[in-house]
């Protein structure tokens, strides 16, 4: 009898945890969609956006599974017709647009950021020590950099295929102009993750 009650209790706790994670997945997906309308257009056809930052943040805070699912949900919303791809919508934006590689890259970057966090980020009670704190910040920075590199790798590769421009031309068009802004976004991702990670973990347990 006691074993049965324990099983039922654990199952309820698990279902409650899954419900919270599903809610956070939907919340981050909505956040990624909302940031579609915060952009600075550039003449090359690839605007400055903060969607990449929110996609990476989803992975770092929700982990490789739920972070990736939140990005996938965002992509589905855009494919079915809502203008969340920097004001555009439809599958053709991914398959034929200059930003298609970046949109797909959101998936990979969220997954890699979440995976790095899952494998290497182990905050603990000893984090107040200088060595532990430094290691903690280093892991966050590493995860954000890996995610950003993956994003731009896919984005540049697809941009080259669609625009038929050389590697050097593509780098000068879709990487170099964005470096200062992306360094700022990378720093914000690291800081926000540091601030919110423990809170997210606590409410999903």
Read off the pLDDT of residues 138-185 as tens digits, 9 standing for 90 and up.
Answer: 999 999 999 999 999 999 999 999 999 999 999 998 898 888 888 989
pLDDT tens-place string over residues 57-71? 999 999 999 999 999
Report yes or no on 13 lying in a domain.
Answer: no
In-domain check, residue 8: no
Note down the domain range covering 89.
21-203
**Within-domain flag for 2:** no
The dihedral built from the CA positions of residue 37, 42, 45 and 48, taken in this order, carries a sign that is: negative
What average pLDDT does the segment 46-52 reach?
78
119 burial class (0-12, 13-18, 19+ CB within 10 angstroms)?
exposed
Residue 6 domain-assigned? no
Question: Does the reported pTM lie above 0.75?
Answer: yes
Q: What is the mean pLDDT of the chain?
A: 86
For residues 100 and 111, what is the distance between their CA atoms, to the nearest angstrom?
A: 18
Structural domain includes residue 158 = yes
Summarised one tens digit per residue, pLDDT across range 88-122 is: 899 999 999 998 999 999 999 999 999 999 999 98
Residue 15 lies in a domain: no
pLDDT number for residue 42: 62
Query: Tens digits of per-residue pLDDT, 192-203?
Result: 999 999 888 888
Token reading at 69: 């699912």
| Position 55 pLDDT exceeds 90 | yes
pLDDT value for 4:
40
**Does any domain span residue 81?**
yes
pLDDT at 138: 93
Phi and psi angles of residue 48, each rounded to the nearest 5 degrees, phi first: -80, 125
Number of domains in the chain: 1
In-domain check, residue 106: yes
pLDDT at 125: 52
Q: What is the CATH number of the domain that holds 33?
A: 1.10.1760.20
Q: What value, to the nearest 5°, has the Cα angle with vertex 106 and ends 166 and 187?
A: 95
Cα radius of gyration rounded to whole Å, the chain: 19
> In this predicted model, which residue has the larger pLDDT, 176 or 125?
176
């Amino acid at each position: 009898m006691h074993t049965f009650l324990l099983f039922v209790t654990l199952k309820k706790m698990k279902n409650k945890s899954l419900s919270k994670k599903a809610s956070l997945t939907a919340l981050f997906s909505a956040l990624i969609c909302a940031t579609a309308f915060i952009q600075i257009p550039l003449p090359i056809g690839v605007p400055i956006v903060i969607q990449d930052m929110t996609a990476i943040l989803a992975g770092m805070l929700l982990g490789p599974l739920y972070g990736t699912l939140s990005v996938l949900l965002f992509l589905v919303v855009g494919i079915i017709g809502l203008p969340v791809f920097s004001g555009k919508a439809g599958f053709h934006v991914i398959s034929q647009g200059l930003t298609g590689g970046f949109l797909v890259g959101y998936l990979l970057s969220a997954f890699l950021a979440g995976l790095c966090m899952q494998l290497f980020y182990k905050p603990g009670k000893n984090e107040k020590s200088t060595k532990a704190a430094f290691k903690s910040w280093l892991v966050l920075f590493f995860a954000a950099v890996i995610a950003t590199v993956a994003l731009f790798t896919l984005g540049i590769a697809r941009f080259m295929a669609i625009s038929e421009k050389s590697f050097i031309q593509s780098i000068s068009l879709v990487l170099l102009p964005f470096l200062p802004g992306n360094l700022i976004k990378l720093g914000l991702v690291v800081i926000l993750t540091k601030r919110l990670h423990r809170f997210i973990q606590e409410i999903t347990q």
